[in-house]
Chains A and B, each alone.
Chain A
Amino acid sequence: MKQNLYNYILGIADNSLILGQRMGALTGHGPSLETDIACTNISLDLFGQVRSYYQYAAKVAGDKRTEDDIAMLRHEREYLNVLLVEQPDTDFAYTMGRQFLFDVYHFLFLTELQKSKDLTLSAIATKSLKEVSYHQRFSTDWIKRLGDGTEESNKRMQTAIDDLWTYTDELFHQTDADKEMVAEGIGVDVTTLKEAYYQKVADVLQESTLTIPESKYFQKGGKQGIHTEHMGYLLAELQYMQRAYPNMEW
Chain B
Amino acid sequence: MSEEQIKYLEKQFEERIARDEKIEPKDWMPEKYRKTHIRQISQHAHSEVVGMLPEGNWITRAPSLRRKVALLAKVQDEAGHGLYLYSACETLGISRDELYEQLHSGKAKYSSIFNYPTITWADMGAIGWLVDGAAIINQVPLCNTSFGPYARAMVRVCKEESFHQRQGYEIMLKLSNGTPEQKDMAQDALNRWWWPSLMMLGPTDAESVHTEQSMKWKLKRKSNDDLRQQFIDQTVPQADILGLSIPDPDLKWNEEKGSYDFGEIDWDEFWQVVKGHGPMNKERMKARVGAWERGEWVRDAAMAYAEKQQERKEKQVV
Report whether chain A binds chain B: yes
Q: How far is the CA of A27 from the CA of B300 in the complex (A)?
A: 21
| A92 with B49, Cβ < 8 A, contacts A27-B75, A149-B300, A149-B302 known | no
Q: A7: CB under 8 A from chain B?
A: no
Interface of B is mostly: helix
0/1 interface trace, chain B 296-318, chain A, CB 8 Å (1 if under): 11111111111010000000000
Are B79 and A37 neighbours in the complex by a CB distance under 8 Å? yes
Are A28 and B287 neighbours in the complex by a CB distance under 8 Å? yes
A-side contacts of B175, CB under 8 Å: 250
Cross-chain contact of B291 among A29, A40, A72, A144 (Cβ < 8 A): A29
Are A44 and B72 neighbours in the complex by a CB distance under 8 Å? yes
| A34 with B83, Cβ < 8 A, contacts A44-B73, A240-B61 known | yes
0/1 interface trace, chain A 51-66, chain B, CB 8 Å (1 if under): 1001000000000000
B-side contacts of A250, CB under 8 Å: 63-64, 67, 121, 171, 174-175
Interface residues of B in 173-215 (CB under 8 A from A): 174-175, 178-179, 181-182
Q: B52: CB under 8 A from chain A?
A: yes
Q: B91: CB under 8 A from chain A?
A: no
Most buried by B among A32, A34, A149, A241: A149
A-side contacts of B69, CB under 8 Å: 44, 47-48, 51
Q: B65: CB under 8 A from chain A?
A: yes
Q: B11: CB under 8 A from chain A?
A: no
Are B298 and A51 neighbours in the complex by a CB distance under 8 Å? no
Query: What is the chain A residue whose CB lies nearest that of B290?
Result: A29
Q: A41: CB under 8 A from chain B?
A: yes
Cross-chain contact of B301 among A47, A146, A241 (Cβ < 8 A): A146
0/1 interface trace, chain A 227-250, chain B, CB 8 Å (1 if under): 000000000011011100100111
A17 to chain B, nearest CB (A): 9
Are B68 and A24 neighbours in the complex by a CB distance under 8 Å? yes
Cross-chain contact of B294 among A24, A31, A72 (Cβ < 8 A): A31
Q: B272: CB under 8 A from chain A?
A: no
0/1 interface trace, chain B 216-242, chain A, CB 8 Å (1 if under): 000000000000000000000000000
Q: B162: CB under 8 A from chain A?
A: no
Q: How far is the CA of A237 from the CA of B287 in the complex (A)?
A: 19
B-side contacts of A43, CB under 8 Å: 72
A-side contacts of B59, CB under 8 Å: 24-25, 27
Size range of the interface on B? Answer: 35 or more
Q: A195: CB under 8 A from chain B?
A: no
Number of interface residues of A (CB under 8 A): 47
Q: A68: CB under 8 A from chain B?
A: yes
0/1 interface trace, chain B 116-147, chain A, CB 8 Å (1 if under): 00000100000000000000000000000000
Query: What is the chain B residue whose CB lies nearest that of A240?
Result: B61
Are B295 and A30 neighbours in the complex by a CB distance under 8 Å? yes
Most buried by B among A36, A37, A144: A36
B-side contacts of A112, CB under 8 Å: none
Q: B168: CB under 8 A from chain A?
A: no
Interface residues of A in 1-55 (CB under 8 A from B): 21, 24-25, 27-37, 40-41, 43-44, 47-48, 50-51, 54
Q: How far is the CA of A67 from the CA of B64 in the complex (A)?
A: 9
A158 to chain B, nearest CB (A): 13
Are B64 and A28 neighbours in the complex by a CB distance under 8 Å? no
Residues of A within 8 A of B (CB): 21, 24-25, 27-37, 40-41, 43-44, 47-48, 50-51, 54, 67-68, 71-72, 91-92, 144-146, 148-150, 152-153, 156, 237-238, 240-242, 245, 248-250
Residues of B within 8 A of A (CB): 49, 52-53, 56, 59-69, 72-73, 75-76, 79-80, 82-83, 86, 121, 171, 174-175, 178-179, 181-182, 287, 290-291, 294-306, 308
Cross-chain pairs A/B with CB under 8 angstroms, 18 sampled:
A24-B72, A27-B56, A30-B291, A31-B295, A31-B296, A33-B83, A36-B79, A37-B76, A40-B73, A43-B72, A47-B68, A51-B65, A72-B64, A92-B298, A146-B301, A150-B297, A152-B300, A250-B175
